[in-house]
Chains A and B, each alone.
Chain A
Amino acid sequence: MKKLVAVLMSLTLIFGGVLAGCSKNKDKDDNAKNPSKGDDSKIVVGFIPMTLNNEFFITMVNGAKEKAEELGIELKVQAGDQHASAADQLTIVENMITSGVDAICIVPSSSEGLAAALKKCKEANVPVINIDTKLEDSVLKEAGVEVPFYGTNNYEGAKAIGEYVAKNFAKGTKTAVLTGIAGQQNAADRKNGFIKGAGDSIKIVAEQSANWEVDQGYAATQNILTANPDIELVYCGNDGMAIGALRAVKEAKKEKQVKVIGFDGVTEALNLVENGEMFATCAQFPAEMGKLGVENAVKLVKGEKAEKNIDTGAKLITKDNAKEHKEYLSKYAG
């Protein structure tokens, strides 16, 4: 029984300690930013990236944090612990509403899955800003809300890559395409934009969904190379899959024959483009998305008008400008 009490006590301590630690840190932050004022008057913005497991979203969150600090507001960041799921995001939204946030910025786990969460926000009178992955209009209609969207115009970005390919490759280049999660608008836009831009310079001989993941991109490319040993180009919907694809190409000792192109502009991909291993990527500006989200969320809370839609831009990254973009990105790392 004594032991039992001891264990119970230690559980309480661990638990209390961790929580108290977190809340203490927060108090400290609050005090630093806002020495004399209580918490009540401070605007709180909830920020929900798709996950916190990759650099893209971490950069986005760091941009949002920078803006929050500049405006002197409190930012709460929560993400699902595993891969993106609509159920997790609904739970997070509910709990954020309970904790009293004034507005929510969200990167939806899918373009169609958040109607229930949006309804809850509407009931609680919490304005929502949509970042990165655009919500379907049908979902917005179903929930009866209008939501501003800030993100990359993926179609245009992918088209720019396609046009670059058209300039640099011969007609009918045998191409494999790795796409993201089926059903996400981003995945479709990045494929279709590329195909449109590249026109007849490419001939697609294989297409696989690798769900945005490095390991799946690697495996899919291995299989594609087995089936089509003569391909010359692999276009991937994000850099993760491209990094996986590049590894498979290298293992097959075909790096001279097969060029790999990615999308997103994460550091590792920029390194690979800089040293010539990856052919190109398309950089997005996640930090800008985070900043704009927070800035306009605050406007909405204050009853001001927010920008309705903003294209945060996409930039083609080749060997020439990879280093420059890396320097920009390093401001938001870690």
Chain B
Amino acid sequence: MNSIKEKLKKFDVKSLTLYIGAVLILIIFTVICSINGKDFLTTSNIQNIISQSAVIAVIGIGASLVIITGGIDLSVGSVVGFVGIFAGVLVKAGVPLFATLLICLAVGALVGAINGALVSYGKVPAFIVTLGTMQIVRGLTKVLTDGRPIAGFPESLAKITQTEILGIPVVILYVFALYALVMFTLKKTKFGRRIYAIGGNPNAAKLSGIKVQKIETLTYVIAGIFSVIGGIILLSRLSYADPNAGSSYELDAIAATVIGGIAMSGGKGKIGNTLVGALILGMLKCGLQILNVAVYYQTIITGLVIIVAVYLDKAKERKAE
């Protein structure tokens, strides 16, 4: 009996606070909006929120994986910007759209591989490596077009995200499908379990025969690929490539990750919660804009929510001490 009770208690504190928080924010906005005569909880607005959060949610997958191994990837936002311009250059040069997207994915994987190799084989701290590649990739983006944006993409590009299936914008389905894939991989495959093992205790992982360097590098490659997917989603949403696009997205992705309860120290956390984190950020932005809260207060509130979310998440650790 007691043990069940204990379990229940643990379960409550550990995994429900985030969802309670998310629902609470949803309810608060719904109530305040309806007091002001606005709709918040409607199908079309929920679809809007998820579409608006899609880019951060997707690059958040990569950011989370890297953070679970105990690293960090600051270059994801720059990759998002690079993808837009690079794809634009290729499309304008007559490369078919599908091939363009494949090339972009390969380039993202390459950036990830460079990050990963320098971190795991070169032993350069992840923060520093990716701080460097963040700048390099952003610079390369501007070199490609002399800092100019690119407009006039084919209609097929916009269709990638703006088609609807059964009334649901397809971009929402992508987000859920990608999360389902990654959640499955982390839970059910050796690779997934090893990522956690590396983040939890790299030395123990090494002693137990895990090829730490290979797995670590691979995680950065995956992060690069997901950044590219995020970049493609953004490009398709705007049909416009801005060399400054994606600036500070790395911070939003990290915010989604930590709101979701993944520990910056590595080895702990559920990747699915990163999606909840991204949606919380999206809800805040959308709700505060609908309520016409001045932009300065929006940033303050977002900051508070990040801190409170992590504070709540640490409740159990504090209790243990």
A182 and B146 within 8 A (CB): yes
Per-residue CB contact flags for chain A residues 115-157 toward chain B (1 = under 8 Å, else 0) read: 1100000000000000000001011001000000000000000
CB distance from A85 to the nearest CB of B (A): 7
- Which B251-293 residues sit within 8 Å CB-CB of chain A? 285-286, 288-293
A90 to B161, CA, bound (A): 15
Per-residue CB contact flags for chain B residues 235-256 toward chain A (1 = under 8 Å, else 0) read: 0011110111101100000000
A153 to B286, CA, bound (A): 35
Contact with B238, one of A23, A26, A90, A98 (Cβ below 8 angstroms): A90
A40 to B38, CA, bound (A): 11
Say yes or no: is B21 at the interface (Cβ < 8 Å to chain A): yes
Contact partners of A142 in chain B: CB under 8 A: 152, 239
Contact partners of B38 in chain A: CB under 8 A: 98-100
Q: A3-B315, A86-B245 are in contact. Are A136 and B147 (CB under 8 A)?
A: no
A78 and B240 within 8 A (CB): no
B24 and A12 within 8 A (CB): yes
Contact partners of A99 in chain B: CB under 8 A: 38, 289-292
Q: What is the total of A-B residue contacts with beta carbons within 8 Å?
A: 151
Contact with B297, one of A22, A76, A91 (Cβ below 8 angstroms): A22
Q: A4-B17, A14-B304 are in contact. Are A94 and B48 (CB under 8 A)?
A: yes
Number of B residues with CB within 8 Å of any CB on chain A: 60
Q: A81-B295, A92-B289 are in contact. Are A113 and B13 (CB under 8 A)?
A: no
Interface class of chain B by DSSP: helix
- Which A82-116 residues sit within 8 Å CB-CB of chain B? 82-83, 85-87, 90-92, 94-96, 98-100, 109-110, 112-116
B312 and A95 within 8 A (CB): no
A183 and B147 within 8 A (CB): yes
CB distance from A58 to the nearest CB of B (A): 12
Say yes or no: is A19 at the interface (Cβ < 8 Å to chain B): yes
Contact with A112, one of B20, B35, B151, B296 (Cβ below 8 angstroms): B151
Say yes or no: is B195 at the interface (Cβ < 8 Å to chain A): no
Contact with B32, one of A23, A81, A109, A138 (Cβ below 8 angstroms): A23
CB distance from B235 to the nearest CB of A (A): 10
Contact with A183, one of B149, B286, B308 (Cβ below 8 angstroms): B149
Contact partners of B102 in chain A: CB under 8 A: none
B242 and A8 within 8 A (CB): no
Contact partners of B68 in chain A: CB under 8 A: none
Contact partners of A52 in chain B: CB under 8 A: 295-296
A18 and B147 within 8 A (CB): no
Say yes or no: is B299 at the interface (Cβ < 8 Å to chain A): yes
Q: Which residue of A lies closest to B25 (CB)?
A: A15
Contact partners of B290 in chain A: CB under 8 A: 95, 98-99
Q: A22-B291, A92-B289, A110-B149 are in contact. Are A11 and B21 (CB under 8 A)?
A: yes
B311 and A7 within 8 A (CB): yes
B308 and A7 within 8 A (CB): yes
Contact with A116, one of B44, B158, B244, B297 (Cβ below 8 angstroms): B158
Say yes or no: is A209 at the interface (Cβ < 8 Å to chain B): yes
Per-residue CB contact flags for chain A residues 169-189 toward chain B (1 = under 8 Å, else 0) read: 000000000000111000000
Contact partners of B315 in chain A: CB under 8 A: 3-4, 7
Q: Which residue of A lies closest to B285 (CB)?
A: A91
B234 and A87 within 8 A (CB): yes
A81 and B149 within 8 A (CB): no
Contact with B312, one of A7, A79, A92 (Cβ below 8 angstroms): A7
A98 to B43, CA, bound (A): 11
A22 and B48 within 8 A (CB): no
- Which A17-63 residues sit within 8 Å CB-CB of chain B? 18-20, 22-23, 26, 39-40, 52
A78 and B238 within 8 A (CB): no
Say yes or no: is B45 at the interface (Cβ < 8 Å to chain A): yes
Contact with B147, one of A11, A77, A181 (Cβ below 8 angstroms): A181
B237 and A90 within 8 A (CB): yes
A78 and B32 within 8 A (CB): no
- Which B22-38 residues sit within 8 Å CB-CB of chain A? 24-25, 28, 32, 35-38
A1 to B319, CA, bound (A): 9
A78 and B295 within 8 A (CB): yes
Q: A8-B312, A112-B151 are in contact. Are A86 and B289 (CB under 8 A)?
A: no
Say yes or no: is A290 at the interface (Cβ < 8 Å to chain B): no
B297 and A18 within 8 A (CB): yes
Contact partners of A193 in chain B: CB under 8 A: none
A3 to B317, CA, bound (A): 13
Say yes or no: is B301 at the interface (Cβ < 8 Å to chain A): yes
B151 and A82 within 8 A (CB): no
Say yes or no: is A262 at the interface (Cβ < 8 Å to chain B): no
Say yes or no: is A197 at the interface (Cβ < 8 Å to chain B): no
A136 and B151 within 8 A (CB): yes
19 contacts between A and B (CB under 8 A): A1-B12, A4-B315, A8-B20, A15-B301, A18-B293, A18-B297, A19-B32, A19-B291, A19-B293, A22-B297, A40-B37, A79-B295, A85-B245, A87-B55, A95-B285, A99-B291, A115-B239, A142-B239, A183-B148
Q: Which 8 A-B pairs have the closest CB atoms?
A: A112-B151, A95-B289, A182-B147, A183-B148, A99-B290, A113-B240, A76-B292, A183-B149
Known pairs A3-B318, A12-B28, A80-B295. 15 more at Cβ < 8 A? A7-B308, A11-B308, A15-B25, A18-B297, A26-B36, A78-B295, A94-B48, A94-B52, A98-B38, A98-B39, A112-B151, A112-B152, A115-B240, A142-B152, A181-B147
